[in-house]
Amino acid sequence: MHTGETETDIQDTTGGRGEAAAARRERAVRAAVAEGLITDEQPVVGLLDVVGIRESAAALRTAFAAALPPGTPVLHAFAVKASPLVAVVRLLREEGVGAEVASPGELALARAAGMTADAIVLDSPAKTTAELREALDLGIAVNADNAQELARLDALVDGRGTASPLGIRVNPQTGTGSIGATSTATSTSKFGVALRDEGAREWLIDAYTRRPWLTRLHAHSGSQGVPLALSAEGIRALYELAEEINAAAGRRQIDTLDIGGGLPVNFASDEPTPGYAEYVRVLKEAVPGLFDGRYGLVTEFGRSLLAKHGTVLAKVEYTKSAGARPIAVTHAGVQVATRTVYVPQAWPLRIAVFDEKGEPRTGEPIAQDVAGPACFSGDLLATDRPLPRIEQGDVVAALDTGAYYFAHHYAYNSLPRPGVHGFTAPDDGPVSFATVRTPQTVEEIVAESGGAHRDALI
């Protein structure tokens, strides 16, 4: 599959993808407005570009397949937390992608999407014994986070063996990116066994040589804000450790390296950069041995597979001004863009403005605030942002919100989870929508807020 392509060919295939995606998005917005997807009852919705998601999955598969000897086992396990929606996981499964899960909920929704045990990896830092037992019963791969978890695995594996591929997660401690809260490879990160701490390396080598059933080694060293070269440095540390363990074991005990996810996303334009092919090039240069076919690979990309394919659309309820600053009060705020609202410097989002017919507004940009519906003053999608003048009844779009945004509802002010629609926009046909998630109703909000326990406290 695709192994005949050169790296240059692959890079070329990303050219124009951003422009085409922007054109699909504009058509989808127009159709969403025309079809009445945005109403008083549903003033905010999430849209997902099905073609874009398929393209990203294909780019991921192709980039690794082209760099590895044919037949090298590779599992691309989508980090479900980036878009915990059953239909999204299902679509990725159709595209040959598996699932990385980190909670009973994520495992259940991956299975609901049709993921089989051999396509699932369980990684959370706080797995209970019951979760571990279930994973081993199902034959799902598990990466132990720490020595105490490994002791639990000992007890579960002892005497009966396991069909699950098992490994240990290490933190290569290669340093922080520009966003502290999403940097996993800092010296004091809570994740994995801290590789550079005193005695850690020896402990790991001993742990593996005593346990023939430990056949994998895991690190997740990149994230938004981490340069590719720094991620690759973490993977090099992982590879070197695996070589050392295998030398100590006198055999190829570790047969698979799980290199995590964390490819950063470009939130500043429509171009899907950096691409997977670029990351593979950087990795191959830093860690050539990773690509010689001696190790199977697992990857766990999340944000980079989905971010650019999601759009939040929200109705502009009012426009006003305060202190000479024009403000558009919309229905999209902290409930769908939590990171951006609370940490705006780290997570800026592009905003596009459409009129009440869904046509892009093209007027002279003026600095405006784009506010959300929540009752605190910081509930802003954008501050002092040059945009065509926004009018009452317009629709604003928060772009690149396909990962960690509308799929990650934050229930402030009891605002409902919005509906999510997938769209396809073929060149030769109309835009069509499919429901991915129905909007939450006010009855559901009451029920989830303990409606059945009204008199519990009196």
Per CB under 6 A, residues contacting ligand PLP are 79, 81-82, 100, 123, 220, 223, 260-263, 300-304
Q: Rounded CA gap, 119 and 111, in Å? A: 10
3-state secondary structure of 32: helix
- Encoded tokens for 153: 């695995």
Q: Which is nearer to ligand PLP, 84 or 422 (CB)?
A: 84
| Closer to ligand PLP by Cβ: residue 30 or 61 | 61
Q: Which is nearer to ligand PLP, 28 or 82 (CB)?
A: 82
CA angle 190/412/225 to nearest 5° reads 40
Q: What is the dihedral of CA 301, 304, 305, 306, to 10 degrees?
A: 130
Helix crossing, 86-94 with 104-112: angle to 10°?
60
Catalytic pick from 322, 324, 375, 456?
375
Q: 420 - beta bridge partners?
A: 46, 437
Contact status, residue 259 vs residue 238, Cβ threshold 8 Å: yes
- Positive or negative: CA dihedral 82, 88, 93, 95: negative
- 375 catalytic, yes or no? yes
SS3 of 184, please?
Answer: coil
A 10 A CB-CB count for 158 gives 9
Q: Which residue's structure tokens are 């090298």?
A: 72
Instruction: Give 44 or 263: the residue with its C-beta nearer to ligand PLP.
Output: 263
Looking at the Cβ atoms of 125 and 451, the one nearer to ligand PLP is 125
H helix or E strand, kind and range, residue 46: strand 44-49
Q: How far is the CB of 319 from ligand PLP (least distance, A)?
A: 35
CB of 117 to ligand PLP, least distance (A): 18
In which residue are the tokens 């909920």 written?
105
Q: 347, 301, 343, 350: which is closest to 83 by C-alpha?
A: 301
Compare residues 260 and 274 and give the one whose CB is closer to ligand PLP: 260
Q: Considering the complex, what minimum distance in angstroms separates the CB of residue 50 from ligand PLP?
A: 20
Minimum CB separation from ligand PLP for residue 257, in Å? 13
If the CB atoms of residues 55 and 123 are measured against ligand PLP, the closer one turns out to be 123
Q: Per the structure block, which two tokens stand in for 238?
A: 């992982």
CA 369/CA 128 separation, integer angstroms: 45
Query: Rounded to whole angstroms, how far apart are CA atoms 177 and 346?
Result: 11
**270 alpha-carbon distance from chain centroid:** 17
Structure tokens that stand for 188 in this block: 């004091």
In angstroms, how far apart are the furthest CA atoms of the chain? 73
CA distance 53 to 94: 11
Question: 36 in helix, strand or coil?
Answer: coil
Residue whose structure tokens are 């509906």: 419
Residue, CB closest to ligand PLP: 302
Q: How far is the CB of 194 from ligand PLP (least distance, A)?
A: 15
Q: How far is the CB of 311 from ligand PLP (least distance, A)?
A: 18
Secondary structure (3-state) at 244: helix
Between 123 and 400, name the residue whose CB sits nearer to ligand PLP.
Answer: 123
Q: Which is nearer to ligand PLP, 80 or 328 (CB)?
A: 80
Question: To the nearest whole angstrom, how small is the minimum distance from the Cβ of residue 273 to ligand PLP?
Answer: 15
Report strand pairing: 120-122 vs 98-101: parallel
Phi-psi map region of 299: left, alpha, beta (phi>0 left; psi -120 to 50 alpha) = beta
In angstroms, give the least distance from the CB of 219 to ligand PLP.
9
Least distance from ligand PLP to the Cβ atom of residue 435, Å: 25
Catalytic residues, by residue number, are: 375
